Chain A
Amino acid sequence: MAEILVLVEHLDGNVKKVTTELLTKARQLGEPSAVFVGSGFDTAKARLAEFGAAKVYVAADEELTNYAVTPKVAVLAKLVQEKSPAAVLIASGPDGKEVAARLGVRTNSGVISDAVDLKDGLVAEQSIFGGATIVQSSVASGTPIITMRPNSTPPEAAAGDASEEPVAVELSDTDKLAKIVDRVVEQKSGRPELTEASIVVSGGRGMGGADNFAIIEKLADALGAAVGASRAATDAGWYPHQNQVGQTGKTVSPQLYIAAGISGAIQHRAGMQTSKTIVAINKDSEAPIFELVDFGVVGDLFDVVPQLTEEVVKRKG
């Protein structure tokens, strides 16, 4: 069966959920080989095996972590050349899209970004214009390089060998032009990651201040959800920018999205419109967010959200 490369997203070997989704998808279309760049393969191995990676190409050289984007491109370009895979799957996200971008140019291949599904014949489905149009695309030249949105394929376990094959790459001088001199981690909350969560609870300008985000966090914790925010809330410094949902923030498509005190500006919608179920609480019945919702409450979020949290806690027992 045709080999399909899946670039592993991980933090020191902790494999992200989206990678298990891509492995699941790759298994439906061919034989998945994972590509692991950086340190921590020992930690990652079990999970990659659990989701059916037959092989794992491991590029563990310390130097590869000193640069943004290019090391992954160099590793994948080498594998594309040597193994002629049927496709390369990469998680959508700023890093993933840029890896795909450079890999496409380097290997003379077409690139499709932000696929929400991938079907026989490597036809990619994309949801564009904020979910208004669905297109089917394919790559006509080179090796199809496709980035896929998190939460687009339900991960299914299936045992694989995950046998390790070391890959050695020499970075070219061009690959070393932009150096990462420092990595700053701004916050760790213990909550699910925004793009991976099956429920997201977001607050906007209607929250009125940083302290009030506690009521959003309480609801999120009751539901096991991630916390999001509109740009108005992140710009005001009420919540960290990594939690921003929208065009210039993260794109999420959870099973359930709850928006409190968010008007539903087009740039916000761009990041959440493909959520399966959408719920909003807003005191203005004319707020555009209500055009999108499956269920909406016109009311003050300071009354509605705590009451909802209490009910959730009560019913979950």
Chain B
Amino acid sequence: MNIVVCVKQVPDTWAEKRLTPEDKTVDRDGVDSVMNELDEYAVEEALRIQEATGGPESTTVTVLTMGPEKATETIRKALSMGADQAVHLTDPALKGSDAVQTSYAMAKALGTIEWDLVICGSEATDARTSLLPAMLAEQLGVAQATFARKVEVDGQTVRIERLTDSGYDKVEATLPAIVSVVEKINEPRYPSFKGIMAAKKKPLTTLSLGDAGIEADKVGLANAWSTVNEAEAAPPRQAGEIVKDEGDGGTKLADYLASKKFI
């Protein structure tokens, strides 16, 4: 079986994020970057499925990233966790692509790889859209099994538990399929020293637009279907009042809530 894990490089979780004043895309230069946290769970799940389906002899795990050159750091991390090889779709023309365009480009990149199962995180922390996995399924015309807290692959069948508002749905699909995972699914491993060393020698293929057969007028900021017209910092929250409980903390809090008409 061939598994592809989609990992995205995003600004560090705790970093102050901002949009660039020029073109209102996420500013990726001024901040430290990391692998999108949820994608670590996706990588871990791919590795566990690989282990459960006969190991590297019978199952290959390929990492796929679309992003600037510096996103190779994130690819290296996924490889050092244990993925076998990587594909990096990178081209200046992709900058500023919106969600639909990203899904088109990623679908094209997947066209250069053999795969049965694609595993994504359920959300990227930079834009927080949760759109890509479903869009990929639509672009590729394959099954979508998303928001999974549990994934099981059994021959050509994938079974997941999809989180819902009131519990979960058991969803069953036939491969090929796109899966996205939530953080309940596993505990991602840390790369070992051996893993880090091995990662340096693992194959990494770089794709440009042309390599993937992506039409230039279908991607990039200038062609985006949804655009940010204006961005401004939200008015800062006024510093709140903080009191120390001296036996009357609950009462003081009740006074406050009453002053705001909540009680």
Contact = CB atoms under 8 A, between A and B. Distances in A.
B261 to A, nearest CB: 10
B49 interface: no
Given A68-B171, A181-B172, 5 more contacts: A137-B227, A139-B227, A177-B174, A303-B245, A307-B251
Interface string B150-184: 00000000000011111111111110010000111
A226 B134 CA distance: 30
B262 A223 contact: yes
A136 B228 contact: yes
A153 interface: no
A181 B230 CA distance: 45
Contacts of A182: 169-170
Nearest to B237: A292
Interface string A207-225: 0000000000000000100
- Is the contact region of chain A dominated by helix, strand, or loop, or is it mixed? mixed
Contacts of B14: 266
B225 A285 contact: no
A184 interface: yes
A297 interface: yes
28 contacts: A68-B169, A101-B131, A102-B134, A110-B224, A113-B130, A114-B128, A127-B234, A129-B17, A132-B18, A135-B229, A137-B228, A137-B229, A178-B172, A178-B173, A178-B177, A181-B170, A184-B169, A185-B166, A235-B184, A241-B149, A267-B37, A278-B240, A295-B240, A296-B243, A297-B245, A303-B247, A311-B263, A315-B254
Interface string B236-251: 0110111111011111
A111 B99 contact: yes
Interface stretch (B58-66, B135-143, B206-214): B135-143
Given A101-B131, A181-B171, A247-B125, A110 B225 contact: yes
Contact of B224 (A73, A132, A140): A140
A300 interface: yes
B40 interface: no
B103 interface: yes
B190 to A, nearest CB: 19
A179 B173 contact: yes
A94 B147 contact: yes
Contact of B242 (A100, A178, A285): A285
B172 A298 contact: no
A28 interface: no
Closest 9 CB pairs of A and B: A299-B245, A307-B250, A110-B225, A311-B254, A177-B143, A186-B167, A110-B226, A101-B134, A308-B250
Taking residues whose C-beta sits less than 8 angstroms from the other chain, chain A's interface range is 35 or more
A85 B139 CA distance: 23
Interface of B: 13-14, 16-19, 24, 37-38, 98-100, 103, 122-123, 125, 127-135, 137-139, 141-147, 149, 162-174, 177, 182-184, 224-234, 237-238, 240-245, 247-254, 256-258, 260, 262-263
Nearest to B16: A132
B163 to A, nearest CB: 7
Most buried by B among A113, A290, A300: A113
- Is the contact region of chain B dominated by helix, strand, or loop, or is it mixed? mixed
A123 B234 contact: no
Contacts of B237: 292, 294
Contacts of B100: 104-105, 109-111
Contacts of A166: none
Interface string A88-104: 00000111011011101
B244 A184 contact: no
Most buried by A among B103, B129, B232: B129
B144 A179 contact: no
A135 B24 contact: yes
A133 B231 contact: yes
A306 B253 contact: no
B257 A138 contact: no
A101 to B, nearest CB: 4
A310 interface: yes
